[in-house]
Amino acid sequence: MITQPNHVPERLALLPTSAVDPFLTEELLKGEQVHGGIDLAKVVEPLPEDDARWWVEPIRSLVEDAMFEFRKDRTRADAWLAPRLHATLRLTRREAADKRLWNHIALAVAPDYVVWRHRSEPTANRPERRVAAERFRGPADRQCFSRLWWAAELFRNGPDYQPVEIACGNQDLIHTVLRMELIDHRPTAQALVRLLQSGQVTTGREINGLGVAISTAGATLTYDVLAPDEPRDPARLRDWIAEAESAPPVERHELPQGPDEDPVPEQSVAALTGYFAELFETAPVRGRKNGD
């Protein structure tokens, strides 16, 4: 297994996707050899030096702790890392939408984590263990670190990251739901977590089927009417981001606190949870017999 590059930058930067491919070698994707880091540092765009958020050490420390703590079960690292990455890397959504930032974290800061977390097991058709290139520079729902940050952003309930732990504990939920436009509706996200937590929806097929049903129903039904949400106060997010300079490292054994925003109205979550449970009864779940 590879280790971190010989040269890990002190600060985050922006790495254009057009500059990524020379560093995505077969040796890296197979977990055999990592780049040195010096050449990669020559093609990045630096971020403002007066912003404390761009220090690499807190992120590097998190991924090292995750690799040690979950060395016997890599998939469990997602639920642990997602809220802590979000609370450590305090971003606006506009900043988080910049793929260049995630390219840099994956390739310059923690390529060893990407390989550790996503290197596939050998199969009859693919005997070599390797990592899909999209885990380094793919879309937001597939890239190793952006998928975790966005999952935390979309599933947190105000400052409470517990729903994020539940959501990220199910790989099918992350893969399916992050592609749904409706997931930006906070009561929808919390209702999905409730169904998962209660055990009403568990398997990948069930989650996929429910996702189809929710998206289809959403085309004719406005969930904002059925389950209204309070508008967010952007000042609270700005304050939380501004506090990054003085914020201590996130706790390893307790969940951190997110932005001090109001939680989702409980009546809206309850209304959608009941509605989605009804939708699930007739959802197109592959392999489910009628009446099950």
Q: Tokens in use for 220?
A: 């004719």
Q: What pLDDT does 211 receive?
A: 87
The pLDDT profile of the chain, 292 residues, written as one tens digit per residue, is 799 999 999 999 999 999 999 999 999 999 999 999 999 999 999 999 999 999 999 999 999 999 999 999 999 999 999 999 999 999 999 999 999 999 999 999 999 999 999 998 776 666 678 999 999 999 999 999 999 999 999 999 999 999 999 999 998 888 888 887 777 899 999 999 999 999 999 888 898 889 888 888 887 778 989 999 998 899 999 999 999 999 999 999 999 999 999 999 999 999 999 999 999 988 878 666 654 5
- Distance between CA 197 and CA 200 in Å, rounded? 8
User: Rounded to 5 degrees, what are φ and ψ at 7?
Assistant: -115, 105
What b/e readout covers 147-172, taking b as 16+ CB neighbours within 10 angstroms?
Answer: bbbbbbbbbbbbbbbebbbbbbbbeb
- Distance between CA 127 and CA 269 in Å, rounded? 46
Q: What pLDDT does 16 receive?
A: 97
- Distance between CA 91 and CA 31 in Å, rounded? 30
Q: HSE, CB side, 13 Å, CA atoms: give it for residue 258.
A: 24
Give yes or no for a contact between 274 and 192, defined as CB atoms under 8 angstroms apart.
no
Q: What pLDDT does 222 receive?
A: 84
pLDDT in tens, 10-22: 999 999 999 999 9
DSSP assignment letter at 106: I
What pTM was computed for the model? 0.94
Q: Which residue has the tokens 């390989």?
A: 115
H/E stretch holding 135: helix 134-137
